[in-house]
Amino acid sequence: MKRNFLIFLLGLLVIGFVPVKVKWKIFKTNNSDIPDNVIISTAIDHNDFKWIGTETKGLAKFDGEKWVSFYTTNSELPGNSIYAIAAEEDFLWIGTYGDGLVSLERDSIWEIYDTKNSDIPHDYIHTISIDAEGNKWIAVGDSGVVKYTGDEWLVYNDLNSGMPHNVIYDIEFDTAGVVWFATEDGGIARFDGEEWVVFQTSNSGIPDNWVADIAIDDKGAIWVGTLGGGLAKYDMSAGPGNFWKVYNMENSGMTNNSVYSIAIDSAGNKWLGTGGGGLVKFDGDSSWTVYDKTNSELPKDFVYSLVIDDNGNKTIGTWKGGVALFNEEGIQ
C-alpha cells in the first residue's frame, strides 16, 4: 500500500514538473566574450548564427554557445567600427565606418573593397542590403548609395538621380523589387529602376524627414521609423487620404518618438527599438507592449539594432548595454 502511494506521489511530481523556459539572455563584456557593450549592427546568417558589430571593438559571432570575435589584431578586418552587416549563403558583408566594405567567406576568406582598390565612392558604410538577384546596395558616407553587381559599381546620389539626400540609413526591397531608402533629412524615397518618388513632410503624411529604419510587411505596407516623429505606416491599399498613419507618444502606446530599428515577426507583430523607450511590440492594430528596464531584463532602454530569427528569438543590440536575446515564448 505504501509502495503504491509513493509511486502515485512520484507520478504527480513528474506530471506536474514543467521546465521553466528562459525568456531573456543578456551578454555584456563582464559576463561573456562579446568585445564591447555598444552594439551598432546585428544580423543572422544561414546557419542561424547571430552577428554583432560594435562601435570600436570589431565584429563578433554567437553560435548559440560561445562568442567569437574578429578585429584588426586577430583577423584581416581593416577597421574595428562595424556599422553594417548583411548575410547571404556562405558570405557575410561587413560595412566599416572608415575602412570600406568587407566580404567574409566561411569565416576565413577576407576581401576588402575601399576607395583605393575599387570604385566604391566612400569608405564610410552606413548600411548594406542584398536584393533578390544578389546585388549589394551599400549606403556610403555622404555619397549616396552604390549598387554593386559583382562587376560594376553604380552610384545613385542627389546629383545623378532622384535621391533626396546623400546620407542613407536603411535600404529595403518590396515584393515587386522596388527599392526603398531611409534618408538622414530627406524623408524616404522609392526607386523602381526608372522612376523616383520621394515622401517628405512637405508632400506626404510622414511625420519627420529624419528616417532611421524601414520595414515592409507581408501585405506590402511600409513601416517607417523616424528619429523624432515616431512610427509611420504607408499603405497604398488604404485608399486616398488614408495612405499614411502615424503612431507616437500622444496617440499610441509608444513611450519614445525616436525609432531606430524595426523588425517584423512571423505573426506580423512590429518590434521597435527606440532611443530611450526600450523595446516595443505592436500588433499593427491596437495592442502595444513595452519592455524596458523597469519591467524586464532589457539591459538598456536605447535599442540601436534588432533582428528576429525563424524561431521568434530577438537579437537586440543596445547602446552601452550589450546584447539581449529575447523570446516571449522562451528562447529556442
Beta-bridged to residue 181, according to DSSP, are 171, 189
Q: What is the distance between the alpha carbons of residues 229 and 247, in angstroms, rounded to a whole number? A: 8
pLDDT at residue number 4:
56
- Per-domain boundaries in the chain: 23-326
CA angle 178, 137, 314 (to 5 degrees): 85
Q: What is the distance between the alpha carbons of residues 67 and 91, in angstroms, rounded to a whole number? A: 19
pLDDT at residue number 12:
46
**Along the chain (332 residues), what's the average pLDDT of each consecutive run of 10 residues?**
50 55 96 98 96 98 96 97 96 97 93 97 98 97 97 97 98 96 98 97 98 97 98 88 94 97 98 98 97 98 97 97 97 92
Do residues 224 and 265 touch, judged by C-beta distance below 8 A? no
Instruction: For residue 274, give the amino acid letter.
Output: T
pLDDT at residue number 241:
75
pLDDT at residue number 18:
54
Between the alpha carbon of residue 31 and those of residues 27, 152, 320, the distances in Å are 6, 44, 14
Neighbours of 125 (CB within 10 A): 29
Instruction: For residue 24, give the amino acid letter.
Output: W
Q: Locate 304 and state its grid cell.
A: 540601436
What are residue 202's phi and psi, to 5 degrees? -80, -20
Helix (H) or strand (E) holding 128: strand 125-130
Spatial CB neighbours of 214, under 8 Å, sequence gap ≥ 6 = 170, 172, 180, 181, 182, 188, 222, 223, 224, 225, 262
Between the alpha carbon of residue 262 and those of residues 32, 128, 241, 253, 324, the distances in Å are 26, 16, 25, 16, 16
Q: Locate 126 and state its grid cell.
A: 552606413
Position of cell 528569438? 313
- CATH superfamily membership of 23-326: YVTN repeat-like/Quinoprotein amine dehydrogenase (2.130.10.10)
What are residue 238's phi and psi, to 5 degrees? -75, -15
